[in-house]
Structure 1
Amino acid sequence: MTDYWSLDGALAEETIVPARFKFGVHGVARVLEPGSTSNDVEPEAKVDAPLWLAAALGRRSMVTISLPETYHERYRRRLNAGAECINLKGRAPYFYDVGNKCNEFLQDLTLSAFLARTYATRYRELVSRGLSTVSGEDMLELQSKLSLEELAVFEAGRESVARAELWARGARPRATVAVLPTRKRAAATRDGAEVAGAARQKA
């Protein structure tokens, strides 16, 4: 389940997915599809709904959820052909999250295997390569192809490499010293002296 406070999780659930109603529903057609000529949804009607709504209706067995186009066979073949064949950031920024959420209802083992294989391939070919990329132009081109999930991993990797390089050069993080205002510093000194005096008396 998506973390309630996760902005990325909320944005991922705004992805539009195809849904087919099992039963007729009154008064919602124009909300789901503003151009609809009727305000009622007929049984077996197909609508495009945000994932959060489709998932909620799916849990109540009111609709069946289908995969968005980017998970269809044509796109799977292109992704299997090579990591750079599809720009996921532009087409499906939350590719893995949305695919896994849809699969909670579809229970498609081939989809699970495809998502895992795609992530492993793109990580190996794109993210790992990006960790050693020096050119700013190459970096921007690479980042433009990554889904937002891949980009988060990529940025974490870049940060780790940068820290490792600083450590190897002998750089150490600077220690920070909290400076108290004059009154608080005086109070802390007085309290410390009182504690020390009490300790001496007990000794």
Structure 2
Amino acid sequence: MTDYWSMDAALAEETLVPTKFKYGALGVASVLEPGSVRNDVEAGAKVEMPLWLATQLTRRGMTTFSLPEIYHERYRRKLNAGAECINLKGRAPYFYDVGNKCNEFLQDLTLSAFLSRTYATRYRELVSKGLSTVSGEAMLELQSKLSLEELAVFEAGRDSVSRAEMWSRGARPRRAAVYLPIRKRASAGREEEQQREARQRTNK
């Protein structure tokens, strides 16, 4: 389930998807297609709209939508050819989130397998290369090809390696100072002495 408060989830659902209207819609053409000279969308018309809107209208039986071009067969072949063949960050920054969201409606088993295979392949190839990359320029080039989902996992991996290297060199994280309450032995001893002096005066 998409996190309502996640900014990345909200941005992913702004991705435009090809949508076909089953019925006509009045007064929305200029909103869906800025610059359109028409006011109404005719039945059977195809427009691109944000994924969040397409899913809501499709759920109500008003439209159907299809996958963005990046998921078509020719792009699948390129992605299968090698991890660095396509710059996902530039073409589809939320590649996996959008693909999975679309597939909740399309129920395409080949798409599910393709997304899983692509993630496993790109993660293995690109992250393995990234962990051994020293040059800052090469690192920037590599990161520019990752989708935002891949980039988050990649940076977590880099951080883990960095921490492991620090540990192997004997570096230890600083421990926060712990302040323990001081027992009031001095005050307790003073009270005993005062009580003893009082008993002595009474006995006199």
Give the TM-score band, short-chain normalised.
Answer: 0.7 to 0.9
Partners of 1:19 and 1:178 lie apart in 2 by 61
Mapping of residues 160-199 of structure 1, within 5 Å: 160-177=160-177, 193=184
**Offset, 1:176:** 2.1
Aligned to 2:116: 116
Aligned to 1:135: 135
**Offset, 1:178:** 7.4
Mapping of residues 33-52 of structure 1, within 5 Å: 33-52=33-52
Aligned to 1:8: 8
- Structure 2 unaligned regions, length at least 5: 189-204
Partners of 1:35 and 1:178 lie apart in 2 by 65
Aligned to 1:183: none
Partners of 2:39 and 2:104 lie apart in 1 by 30
**Offset, 1:16:** 0.7
Q: Which runs of 4+ in 1 moved over 4 A?
A: none
- Structure 2 residue identity aligned to 1:35: G
Equivalent position SS for 1:48: strand
- Structure 1 residue identity aligned to 2:21: F
**Offset, 1:2:** 1.2
CA displacement 1:38-76 (0-9 Å, x = unmatched)? 211111111100111111111112111111111111111
Partners of 1:120 and 1:17 lie apart in 2 by 25
Aligned to 1:95: 95
Partners of 2:160 and 2:58 lie apart in 1 by 41
Partners of 1:95 and 1:46 lie apart in 2 by 23
Mapping of residues 27-66 of structure 1, within 5 Å: 27-66=27-66
Partners of 1:166 and 1:34 lie apart in 2 by 54
CA displacement 1:81-130 (0-9 Å, x = unmatched)? 11111000111000011011111111111111111111111011111221
Aligned to 1:83: 83
Equivalent pairs counted in the alignment come to 187
- Structure 1 residue identity aligned to 2:154: F
RMSD: 2.0
Aligned to 1:156: 156
- Structure 2 residue identity aligned to 1:147: S
- Structure 2 residue identity aligned to 1:5: W
Aligned to 1:185: none
Query: How does the TM-score come out when normalised to structure 1?
Result: 0.86
Query: How does the TM-score come out when normalised to structure 2?
Result: 0.86
- Give the % identical residues: 78
- Structure 2 residue identity aligned to 1:139: M
Equivalent position SS for 2:17: strand
- Structure 2 residue identity aligned to 1:131: L
Aligned to 1:200: none
Change (3 A) 1:131 1:36: same
- Structure 2 residue identity aligned to 1:116: S
Partners of 2:48 and 2:173 lie apart in 1 by 51
- Structure 2 residue identity aligned to 1:44: G
- Structure 1 unaligned regions, length at least 5: 180-187, 198-203
- Structure 1 residue identity aligned to 2:28: V
- Structure 1 residue identity aligned to 2:135: S
Equivalent position SS for 2:20: strand
Aligned to 2:194: none
- Structure 2 residue identity aligned to 1:111: L
